[in-house]
Chains A and B, each alone.
Chain A
Amino acid sequence: MAILDSKVPKGPIKDKWTNYKNKIDLVNPANKRNIDVIVVGTGLAGGSAAATLAEQGYNVKAYCYQDSPRRAHSIAAQGGINASKNYMGDGDSDYRLFYDTVKGGDYRSREANVYRLAEVSGNIIDQCVAQGVPFARDYGGLLDNRSFGGVLVSRTFYAKGQTGQQLLLGAYSAMNRQIARGKIEMFNRHEMLDVVKVDGKARGIITRNLITGDIERHSAHAVVIATGGYGNVYFLSTNAMGSNVTAAWKIHKKGAYFANPCFTQIHPTCIPRSGDYQSKLTLMSESLRNDGRIWVPAKIEDAKAIQEGKLRPTAIAEEDRDYYLERRYPAFGNLVPRDVASRAAKERCDAGYGVNATGEAVYLDFADAFMRYGKEQAKIHGISNPSKEEIIKLGQGIIEEKYGNLFQMYEKIIAENPYETPMMIYPATHYTMGGVWVDYNLMTTVPGLYCLGEANFSDHGANRLGASALMQGLADGYFVLPYTIGDYLSDDIRTGKISTDSKEFDEVEKEVTDRINFFMNNKGTKSVDHFHKRLGKVMWDKVGMARNAPHLKEAMAEIKAIREEFWKDVKVPGDANEMNLELEKAGRVADFLELGELFAKDALDRNESCGGHYRDESVVKEGEQKGEALRNDEDFAYVSAWEYKGEPADAVLHKEELEFKDIELKQRSYK
């Protein structure tokens, strides 16, 4: 089996990045003007990369399928962004952030990448503040922090419950400045449909103009993919409706290895589903677990009564409630990492203790927080002998300040006031740790083809900690790629413009148009959504929160069968030469139908439980940790990088062995 070269520099971990930066090749400012870079995707990773590369002097072409870069799904991130500033003086450091991230990822990430991430995290906050991002501040005018799951310090910076929005608007504003200067050429409502390689190097892309339907060729000296995750393979997820795997999958089919596809995060705090018509699931930020307590009824008869609508949660006495996270994990309580919290909710609901009509919901209760904050506020405002009602009111004011928009969003969807009745939550697919394999430079296995942000696999291992996605996206785009890409582009200063008038472009364009023509001419009988929903159901039932070999084998066969039926029977109405939303969906679902099978194959290969990937076959059999996930470092301390070979089932596995020199491999315990 081939050995993947991660290109991690030698030397002590804390010096690697600095020494590496000092030695890599640079492109001088005059030459940057002669070099073009394509950036696909304009979320935090793509937006920050596009802006920074343009500031440096490269000619950037940026693409997004939305009508504005500002609408990329990074915007929906709520809770916050981590940085090891140690502003709270609670003992935080680069090492601690590094350690927490590697541990949180269940020891399946690459140490050197994670350390670099921690190292640049502070720069991100400085940069964003300089851009005018309005982070939350305390009364002294300094930045406020809160705490997130899986860590013991407060290192999360936030802007109300709209942190992703504010960070994205920061990157977007930096892009706008470069668009105005002509250094970024922005292609809104354009979808990348394939990558073009010339002499083995990525030299361009084929896009479809989503307004006119025109198929266009774009060339550059390097191509950067920052198109987010593939959670929509489950149909229902917290992703945007348009979020898709197409760009990542297309480059996979052109030679980029796809790593750890089965590492998917099922987020514990989402609004439960209500019916079959549901189009997406809505996340309630993890930050709510700072102040909310999660419980289900302790008595099965109470749970039944609630499911039938005969009992209200507020009528259940304190001693009849099971705060199961606090019970099982006293050290971390409600702030255990996401994978642990999700499985614990599933365990209670599977046992019959769920709290809505579907039996798939648990409570997130703020009553204690209202009292705690209320008492503090009463003291601050000098109110003596406040009544319970007054205290609750004051406490609710603080909660509203912190999470007001989330409470409002909940009320609009569920039609219940979460200030009065505990919220109902249930896990939902949220984030994909797996993605395109990249080396230390963020380059894929195709020269000149880079992958950033959620679309790559590198930093979160088998489970991502809260508030780390924003950190990684911006680290990649602002502070990593702009350095590492220079090392590659320094060889291209004499290349000159890449022509789009070549047989390589002809061939790929033909593949793209053939596929579109197929969809338009296929007189099938079923809509694209029909197939997407069926795929999603197989994924959720058999490749969801708990997986086992028989189910995974079934899933592979079933997904293949759905895919074959899709290609025979899918119906795409309308015209290819105009805006056609069904055609857009058809292309994306076709790719999900291939990815889904590889996903199940990867899950089958990894016969261990780690992070978000839980195999029924691999659990602790006895002792204090009985029933908890059992990782197997001896056999599985590697990154699975899959090489495309025609059919997803035929993909060939390459292993990048993971080395842990700076952190001792331990079974995770949050007890």
Chain B
Amino acid sequence: MNLTLKIWRQKGPQDKGAMVEYKVNDISEHMSFLEMMDVLNEQLVNSGDEPVAFDHDCREGICGMCSLYINGEAHGPDRGITTCQLHMRMFNDGDTIYIEPWRAAAFPVIKDLVVDRMAMERIQQAGGFVSVNTSGNTQDANAMPISKHDADESMDAAACIGCGACVASCKNSSAMLFVGAKVSQYALLPQGQVEAADRVLNMVHQMDLEGFGNCTNTGACEVECPKGITLVNIARMNREFLKASIKG
């Protein structure tokens, strides 16, 4: 298939940036979206132009690096996948495809389609852990049974890959699905109980400092999340937050 691409080009953080149009031809429907981008970049390199910068790494939907906003949707038109798992069979010959970076005040553009997601790192550093040192004599892993239901639910929350699609999709640029997922993973496990109150207060505090917006229950994040993280996690975080706040 032959496609027209309209891609956000921005040389650096200070540059104003603009949409630039490109054509790519003979794209196979079996290609992944990023392989289509590879074809474009090979074309650009061969003609002496600078290729389009975009983040990507594992190309199997787990590292969370890829982050394209395609035709107004984070990770494009398919559901439950990252950009690298999007295939060209989702598009038609002659389509015009708009490709932009994640858009959020807390995610400044570094170059072209690459954004800076350090804000998410700092939120994790504020409390996304259990304080346990490595010793070699921690208690036996089976000493503390955990109900399968809780373990499974915790796993579902832990499946978050930290890509930031939730933020990019949200009209308020809220990171509450991301933070809610991490808070939930630990809140559901006995290991996380001791620090639960501090964790939620510190992580939410850092989230606010970073300039992410608040949740207004639109639910776009849940729809676009490649890993199926649900709004339940936001509700659980709010409950944890309230509990911790009352406790003082």
Q: In this assembly, does B3 line the interface, its C-beta being within 8 Å of a C-beta of chain A? A: no
Give B130-167 as 1s and 0s: 1 = Cβ < 8 Å from A's Cβ atoms. 11111111111110111110011011001101100000
Known contacts A52-B134, A478-B134, A412 near B162 by CB under 8 Å: no
Minimum CB–CB distance from A288 to chain B (whole Å) comes to 15
Q: In this assembly, does A415 line the interface, its C-beta being within 8 Å of a C-beta of chain B? A: yes
Give A152-191 as 1s and 0s: 1 = Cβ < 8 Å from B's Cβ atoms. 0000000110100110010011101101100000101000
Q: In this assembly, does A140 line the interface, its C-beta being within 8 Å of a C-beta of chain B? A: yes
Q: In this assembly, does B129 line the interface, its C-beta being within 8 Å of a C-beta of chain A? A: yes
Whether the pair A141, B147 counts as a contact (CB closer than 8 A) is yes
Known contacts A180-B125, A241-B57, A130 near B118 by CB under 8 Å: no
Q: In this assembly, does B239 line the interface, its C-beta being within 8 Å of a C-beta of chain A? A: no
Whether the pair B121, A68 counts as a contact (CB closer than 8 A) is yes
Residues of B close to A571: CB separation below 8 A: 45
Whether the pair B151, A135 counts as a contact (CB closer than 8 A) is yes
Whether the pair B185, A132 counts as a contact (CB closer than 8 A) is yes
Known contacts A130-B130, A571-B45, A162 near B159 by CB under 8 Å: yes
Minimum CB–CB distance from A162 to chain B (whole Å) comes to 6
Q: In the complex, A279→B39 CA distance in Å?
A: 10
Whether the pair B87, A412 counts as a contact (CB closer than 8 A) is yes
Residues of B close to A143: CB separation below 8 A: 141-142
Known contacts A173-B129, A277-B35, A132 near B117 by CB under 8 Å: no
Instruction: Output the residue of B60, B132, B135 with the most chain A CB within 10 A.
Output: B60
What number of B residues sit within 8 Å (CB to CB) of A? 80
Whether the pair A140, B191 counts as a contact (CB closer than 8 A) is no
Whether the pair B124, A173 counts as a contact (CB closer than 8 A) is yes
Whether the pair B117, A131 counts as a contact (CB closer than 8 A) is no
Within 8 A of B (CB), among A407-448: 408-409, 412-413, 415
Q: In the complex, A277→B152 CA distance in Å?
A: 38
Q: In this assembly, does A397 line the interface, its C-beta being within 8 Å of a C-beta of chain B? A: no
Q: In this assembly, does B23 line the interface, its C-beta being within 8 Å of a C-beta of chain A? A: no
Q: In the complex, A188→B158 CA distance in Å?
A: 22
Q: In this assembly, does B12 line the interface, its C-beta being within 8 Å of a C-beta of chain A? A: yes
Residues of A close to B93: CB separation below 8 A: none
The residue of chain B having its C-beta at the shortest distance from the C-beta of A70 within the complex is B162
Minimum CB–CB distance from B161 to chain A (whole Å) comes to 7
Residues of A close to B118: CB separation below 8 A: 67, 188
Q: In the complex, A55→B131 CA distance in Å?
A: 10
Whether the pair A279, B34 counts as a contact (CB closer than 8 A) is yes
Q: In this assembly, does A574 line the interface, its C-beta being within 8 Å of a C-beta of chain B? A: yes
Residues of A close to B161: CB separation below 8 A: 165
Q: In the complex, A73→B65 CA distance in Å?
A: 11
From B46-54, B229-237, B240-248, give the one contacting chain A. Answer: B46-54
Q: In the complex, A415→B61 CA distance in Å?
A: 16
Neighbour of B57 across the interface among A242, A282, A412, CB < 8 A: A242
Within 8 A of B (CB), among A95-133: 120, 123, 125-132
Whether the pair B35, A278 counts as a contact (CB closer than 8 A) is yes
Neighbour of A132 across the interface among B44, B78, B130, CB < 8 A: B130
Whether the pair A85, B155 counts as a contact (CB closer than 8 A) is no
Whether the pair A68, B130 counts as a contact (CB closer than 8 A) is no
Q: In this assembly, does A582 line the interface, its C-beta being within 8 Å of a C-beta of chain B? A: yes
Residues of B close to A136: CB separation below 8 A: 151, 155
Q: In the complex, A136→B49 CA distance in Å?
A: 49
Q: In the complex, A123→B132 CA distance in Å?
A: 13
Known contacts A408-B80, A412-B81, A581-B53, A279 near B111 by CB under 8 Å: no
Residues of B close to A180: CB separation below 8 A: 125-126
Neighbour of A76 across the interface among B42, B56, B60, CB < 8 A: B60
Q: In this assembly, does B32 line the interface, its C-beta being within 8 Å of a C-beta of chain A? A: yes
Q: In this assembly, does A134 line the interface, its C-beta being within 8 Å of a C-beta of chain B? A: yes
Within 8 A of B (CB), among A184-240: 186, 188, 211, 238, 240
Q: In this assembly, does A34 line the interface, its C-beta being within 8 Å of a C-beta of chain B? A: no
Whether the pair B121, A188 counts as a contact (CB closer than 8 A) is yes
Residues of A close to B185: CB separation below 8 A: 132, 134
The residue of chain A having its C-beta at the shortest distance from the C-beta of B56 within the complex is A241
The residue of chain B having its C-beta at the shortest distance from the C-beta of A415 within the complex is B89
Q: In the complex, A573→B53 CA distance in Å?
A: 12
Q: In the complex, A66→B118 CA distance in Å?
A: 11
Q: In this assembly, does B19 line the interface, its C-beta being within 8 Å of a C-beta of chain A? A: no
Known contacts A134-B185, A141-B148, A176-B125, A129 near B192 by CB under 8 Å: no
Whether the pair A573, B49 counts as a contact (CB closer than 8 A) is yes
Whether the pair A68, B117 counts as a contact (CB closer than 8 A) is yes
The residue of chain B having its C-beta at the shortest distance from the C-beta of A164 within the complex is B62
Residues of B close to A142: CB separation below 8 A: 142, 145
Q: In the complex, A51→B65 CA distance in Å?
A: 22
Q: In this assembly, does B212 line the interface, its C-beta being within 8 Å of a C-beta of chain A? A: no
Minimum CB–CB distance from B49 to chain A (whole Å) comes to 7
Whether the pair A73, B63 counts as a contact (CB closer than 8 A) is yes
Give B71-92 as 1s and 0s: 1 = Cβ < 8 Å from A's Cβ atoms. 0000000101100010101000
Q: In this assembly, does A280 line the interface, its C-beta being within 8 Å of a C-beta of chain B? A: yes
Whether the pair B148, A479 counts as a contact (CB closer than 8 A) is no
Known contacts A130-B130, A134-B155, A573-B45, A479 near B136 by CB under 8 Å: yes
Residues of B close to A130: CB separation below 8 A: 130, 132, 138-139, 191
Whether the pair A70, B64 counts as a contact (CB closer than 8 A) is yes
Whether the pair B111, A131 counts as a contact (CB closer than 8 A) is no
Whether the pair A177, B131 counts as a contact (CB closer than 8 A) is yes
Minimum CB–CB distance from B151 to chain A (whole Å) comes to 4
Give B162-177 as 1s and 0s: 1 = Cβ < 8 Å from A's Cβ atoms. 1000000000000000
Whether the pair B132, A134 counts as a contact (CB closer than 8 A) is no
7 residue pairs, one from A and one from B, having the closest CB atoms: A141-B145, A173-B129, A134-B155, A129-B141, A134-B154, A240-B57, A71-B63
* Chain A interface (Cβ < 8 Å from any Cβ of B): 48, 51-52, 55, 66-68, 70-73, 75-76, 85, 87, 120, 123, 125-132, 134-143, 159-160, 162, 165-166, 169, 172-174, 176-177, 179-180, 186, 188, 211, 238, 240-242, 274-275, 277-280, 282-283, 408-409, 412-413, 415, 478-479, 482, 527, 529, 571, 573-574, 578-579, 581-582
Q: What are 28 pairs between A and B in contact, CB < 8 Å?
A: A66-B63, A66-B65, A67-B117, A67-B118, A71-B65, A73-B63, A123-B137, A123-B138, A126-B141, A130-B191, A132-B186, A135-B151, A143-B142, A162-B62, A165-B62, A165-B159, A166-B155, A173-B130, A177-B129, A177-B131, A277-B38, A279-B34, A280-B59, A282-B60, A409-B60, A412-B81, A412-B87, A581-B51
* Chain B interface (Cβ < 8 Å from any Cβ of A): 11-12, 28, 30-32, 34-35, 38-39, 42, 44-46, 48-51, 53, 55-65, 78, 80-81, 85, 87, 89, 110-111, 114, 116-118, 120-121, 124-126, 128-142, 144-148, 151-152, 154-155, 158-159, 161-162, 185-186, 189, 191-192
